[in-house]
Amino acid sequence: MKKWLSMFFAVALLAASVTGCSSPAPTTEAPEGSEAPADGKYKVAYVARAQADSFAAWLANAVKEESEKYDNMTVDIFDGQASDDTENSLIENAIANKYDLIIIQPNNGEAQRPYAEKAIAAGIKVITTNARISGIEGASSVDADPYKQAQVNAELAVEKVPQNANVVILKGPPGNFHADERYKSWQKEFFEKRPDVTIVGEEIANWNKDEAMTYMETWMQANKKIDAIISMNDNMAAGALEAVKDKPEFAEIQAYGVDGTAEACLLIKDGKMTSTSLQSAYDLATALMDTSNKLLTGEETQIDMDIDCPLITPDNVDQYIEMHKKAGAIN
Amino acid sequence: MSNKAKGKINPDMLSKYGIYLVLLVLFVVSWMANENFMTKSNLTNVSVQIAVGTILAFGQTILIISGMLDLSSASVLALAGVLSISAYLSTGSLIIGFLVAILVSVACNVLNGLMVTKFKTPPFIATLAMMTMARGAALLYTKGQNIYQIKDYTIFGQGNLMGIPIPIIFLVLTLIITWYILNHTVFGRSIYAIGGNEEAANASGINVDRVKMKAFIFNGILVGLAGVIFMSRVNGGLPNGAVGYEFKALTAAVIGGTSFSGGVGTAFGTLAGAFIVGFLDNIMVMVGLDSYLQQIVRGAIIALAVIYDIWSKSKGKSKKLIMVEETKEKVS
């Protein structure tokens, strides 16, 4: 049924994109490496993992905004609906529609790899992002390093988490590259260095605030003492902190996340959350459009880069709150 | 619960109270498994946690009894919830926020009802379409981003009234209303009649389309209320929140003895079903069972509970017969 649904939407999306793009582009037959597109603008397809995923949606919005700064490109956004099937057919459609460049935000890197390769074979430039699919001959990539994102938090936690602490862990969906790498990083950079710490709860909350909240409520029933919440993203950390709210016995609890969402910045400002690291959709979008521009104009042929992941703590949170205010996420 | 006259213990008692027995066994096992299970604060905790899913399940119960179902409830919940928060933030009025949730959800369910009654679309397809549209609308409206800083809106999900958490108060109120509708109103009796045999109900003068539309409207009120509690509890407008809650609700109703063949089901049965799922999830996290293993156990218990329910009902006579009898009782 799910497959049927996603097929339906793939077709619907295809129909929408065809009607949307058909008028200005009378089959732009762009030969490989051409410098100037027929109608003066390069066509870029951005295939998003899932518009229902809040970070993916933030990134897609940021890409769209950033693209408006470039006169030589038009960017069309496609929604992969969190399905490999849908995402792969969207990439095929983009190849068939002769886009000049395809940006792929994979749902599952290995599943999209052959389709990215197919695009390259068709002479289309490819950038993989959030997370990169590494080792594709001729493809470029722009990403944030998930291991490092967790590491900067883990290093702070090594100092701050009290001796013999009880901690709980909130994990992302299994098999997700960022979820797995962040978890691996916490294991190596924190738990191996702090053998005194006990894990009293560990659950998969699928990046979701409501699921994390429910788990935390139950952990608080089973454990009188929990010293820290270690979460693979901010959304789940915020959910757990929601459960802790107004419970005096857990007032001192520490919480670590990743992403630097507006909500996490406010929680850090209020002294409820300890730290997070920024995975800035704006920085990714800026880097993506800059890379696209360089590849399309032939200035460079291949780029692999990582954006920074600065640690956000009460000391520097104000500048990030300012960033979110400017973007209109909070007021 | 209408025929108290039959006082025998077996097999009628088994069939009627089988699900409560399952709940009791789960309760005792959990109590032995963890000392923190049977505390006032944990029982309150679980009751608050199941409130949203159970309120949705009451709506599903009424729809399933009348031979329908609602796949759109979780998506409509999200749409109603984000619009409600947005209305509250722009007007500053909790009442307006609350009413917007109910109105949006009822409107979506009127559309469900129209598709089913006027265009004779199967409820499965009609509500599947609504599920996708409502989720899309919620994401479109918020651009896929959570709404933060919802201020006093959190009272509906996090507040207390005389020491009782407000979600529990809503849960009890909706339980009583659902029970009353099913057992003491013409509307309730018509629902059982339509689910038991639609043509017979029609022939006996029941306006089937009108009853179905009313069932959807009632479901809409419950879904809107659930949306308010959900968003308030998580302190944010989450357009992609509550994914999968429609199945949570269907599961509670079915474990509670509501039959997909229509005509059978009770409000208290559904509540018991919701508690079985809620306590099970609770105890598995408490004892720290592996997350993958939890999914297997959850599925197995659902299967076992329903098999036991059907088995206990079929003792002595066939399930179909019981359903026909129960339907007759409800209608008469």
Contact A140, A116 (CB under 8 A): no
- How high is the pLDDT of residue A33? 44
Asked whether residue A291 is assigned to any structural domain, the reply reads: yes
Give the minimum alpha-carbon distance from A310 to chain B in angstroms, rounded to a whole number: 22
Full-model pTM: 0.83
Is A61 in the B-facing interface, judged by CB distances under 8 Å? Answer: yes
Is A173 in the B-facing interface, judged by CB distances under 8 Å? Answer: no
Is A11 in the B-facing interface, judged by CB distances under 8 Å? Answer: no
Q: What is the mean pLDDT of residues B153-177?
A: 95
Q: Do A112 and A128 belong together in one domain? A: yes
The pair phi, psi for residue A193, each rounded to 5°, is -90, -15
Percent of chain B past pLDDT 90, that is, above it, reads 72
Residues of B in contact with A331 (CB under 8 A): 149
Percent of chain A past pLDDT 90, that is, above it, reads 69
pLDDT in tens, B248-303: 999 999 899 898 888 989 999 999 999 999 999 999 999 989 888 998 998 887 78
pLDDT in tens, B182-195: 999 999 999 999 99
Residues of B in contact with A61 (CB under 8 A): 143-145
Q: What is the mean pLDDT of residues B135-164?
A: 92
Asked if B145's CB is within 8 angstroms of A221's CB, the reply is: no
Is A108 in the B-facing interface, judged by CB distances under 8 Å? Answer: no
Asked if A54's CB is within 8 angstroms of B146's CB, the reply is: yes
Q: Which of these, B8, B7, B11, lies nearest to B321 by C-alpha position? A: B11
For A52-68, give one letter per residue: b (16+ CB within 10 A) or e.
bbbbbbbbbbbbebbbe
Nearest chain A residue (CA) to B36:
A222
Instruction: Enumerate the β-bridge partners of residue B61.
Output: none
Higher pLDDT: A175 or A169? It is: A169
**Amino acid at position B33, single letter:** A
Asked if B285's CB is within 8 angstroms of A218's CB, the reply is: yes
pLDDT in tens, B106-120: 999 999 999 999 999
Asked whether residue A172 is assigned to any structural domain, the reply reads: yes
Question: Confidence band (pLDDT; 50, 70, 90) for B331?
Answer: low
Average pLDDT, chain A: 87
Give the minimum alpha-carbon distance from B145 to chain A in angstroms, rounded to a whole number: 5
- How high is the pLDDT of residue B324? 55
Give the minimum alpha-carbon distance from A323 to chain B in angstroms, rounded to a whole number: 15
Asked whether residue A300 is assigned to any structural domain, the reply reads: yes
Start-to-end Cα distance in chain B: 14
- How high is the pLDDT of residue A20? 39
Q: Do A272 and A301 belong together in one domain? A: no
Asked if B132's CB is within 8 angstroms of A51's CB, the reply is: no
Asked if A213's CB is within 8 angstroms of B285's CB, the reply is: no
Q: Which of these, A183, A228, A227, A225, lies nearest to A204 by C-alpha position? A: A183
The boundaries of the domain holding residue A121 are: 42-143+281-307
Asked if A210's CB is within 8 angstroms of B233's CB, the reply is: yes
Asked whether residue A65 is assigned to any structural domain, the reply reads: yes
Asked whether residue A97 is assigned to any structural domain, the reply reads: yes
- How high is the pLDDT of residue A28? 39
**Amino acid at position A90, single letter:** L
Residues of B in contact with A204 (CB under 8 A): 291
- How high is the pLDDT of residue A18? 41
Q: Do A264 and A289 belong together in one domain? A: no
Sign, Cα dihedral of A241, A242, A243, A245: positive
**Amino acid at position B90, single letter:** S
Asked if B36's CB is within 8 angstroms of A222's CB, the reply is: yes
Q: Do A233 and A291 belong together in one domain? A: no
- How high is the pLDDT of residue A4? 56
Q: Do A194 and A124 belong together in one domain? A: no
**Amino acid at position B255, single letter:** I
Question: Confidence band (pLDDT; 50, 70, 90) for B315?
Answer: low
Is B163 in the A-facing interface, judged by CB distances under 8 Å? Answer: no
Give the minimum alpha-carbon distance from A298 to chain B in angstroms, rounded to a whole number: 34
Is A330 in the B-facing interface, judged by CB distances under 8 Å? Answer: yes
A13-22, A30-39, A298-307 — which one is most confidently predicted on average? A298-307
Contact A91, A47 (CB under 8 A): yes
Q: What is the CATH number of the domain that holds A174?
A: 3.40.50.2300
Asked if A52's CB is within 8 angstroms of B240's CB, the reply is: yes
- How high is the pLDDT of residue B56? 98
Is B288 in the A-facing interface, judged by CB distances under 8 Å? Answer: yes
Burial (Cβ within 10 Å: 0-12, 13-18, ≥19) of residue B111: buried
**Amino acid at position A277, single letter:** S
Is A183 in the B-facing interface, judged by CB distances under 8 Å? Answer: no
Q: Do A191 and A250 belong together in one domain? A: yes
Asked if B241's CB is within 8 angstroms of A209's CB, the reply is: yes
- How high is the pLDDT of residue A8? 54
Q: Which two tokens stand for residue B113?
A: 């009802």
**Amino acid at position B67, single letter:** G
Asked whether residue A47 is assigned to any structural domain, the reply reads: yes
- The greatest distance separating any two alpha carbons of chain A, rounded to the nearest whole angstrom, comes to 68
Asked whether residue B235 is assigned to any structural domain, the reply reads: yes
Cα A136 to Cα A85, A90, A106, A290, B105, distances in angstroms: 20, 19, 13, 20, 48
Asked if B236's CB is within 8 angstroms of A330's CB, the reply is: no
CA angle, corner A276, sides to A275 and A282, nearest 5? Answer: 145
Q: Report whether pLDDT(B309) > 80.
A: no
- Which candidate from A51, A221, A238 shows the least CB-CB separation from B45? A221
pLDDT in tens, A193-225: 999 999 999 999 988 899 999 999 999 999 999
- Which candidate from A5, A54, A214 shows the least CB-CB separation from B145? A54
Is A221 in the B-facing interface, judged by CB distances under 8 Å? Answer: yes
Work out how many domains chain B is built from and give that number.
1
Residue recorded with tokens 């490989």: A32
Residues of A in contact with B241 (CB under 8 A): 208-210
Give the minimum alpha-carbon distance from A223 to chain B in angstroms, rounded to a whole number: 8
- How high is the pLDDT of residue B305? 72
Q: Do A296 and A179 belong together in one domain? A: no
Work out how many domains chain A is built from and give that number.
2
The boundaries of the domain holding residue B106 are: 46-248
Nearest chain B residue (CA) to A171:
B291
Percent of chain B past pLDDT 70, that is, above it, reads 89
Residue recorded with tokens 């984000």: B82
- Which candidate from B146, B230, B286 shows the least CB-CB separation from A222? B286
Q: What's A224-281 look like in SS3?
A: CCCCEEEECCHHHHHHHHHHHCCCHHHCCCEEECCECCHHHHHHHHCCCCCEEEECCH
Give the minimum alpha-carbon distance from B36 to chain A in angstroms, rounded to a whole number: 6
Asked whether residue A24 is assigned to any structural domain, the reply reads: no
**Amino acid at position B207, single letter:** N
Tally of helices (H runs) and strands (E runs) in chain A = 11, 12
Q: Which of these, B262, B207, B213, B290, lies nearest to B61 by C-alpha position? A: B262
Least confident segment among A31-45, A96-110, B11-25:
A31-45
Tally of helices (H runs) and strands (E runs) in chain B = 14, 2
Least confident segment among A40-44, A153-157, A235-239, B229-233:
A40-44
Least confident segment among A147-161, A292-306, B318-332:
B318-332
Asked if A262's CB is within 8 angstroms of B288's CB, the reply is: no
Asked if B135's CB is within 8 angstroms of A204's CB, the reply is: no
Asked whether residue A20 is assigned to any structural domain, the reply reads: no
DSSP state of A188: I
Question: Confidence band (pLDDT; 50, 70, 90) for A267?
Answer: very high
Q: Do A152 and A270 belong together in one domain? A: yes
Nearest chain B residue (CA) to A9:
B132
Residues of B in contact with A214 (CB under 8 A): 49, 281
Q: Report whether pLDDT(B319) > 50.
A: no
Give the minimum alpha-carbon distance from A53 to chain B in angstroms, rounded to a whole number: 7
Burial (Cβ within 10 Å: 0-12, 13-18, ≥19) of residue A283: middle
Q: At what angle do helices B40-65 and B186-196 cross, to 10 degrees?
A: 70
- How high is the pLDDT of residue B10? 60
Residues of B in contact with A241 (CB under 8 A): none
Q: Do A115 and A174 belong together in one domain? A: no
- How high is the pLDDT of residue B316? 46
Q: Report whether pLDDT(A23) > 70.
A: no
- ipTM for the assembly: 0.82
Cα radius of gyration (chain B): 20
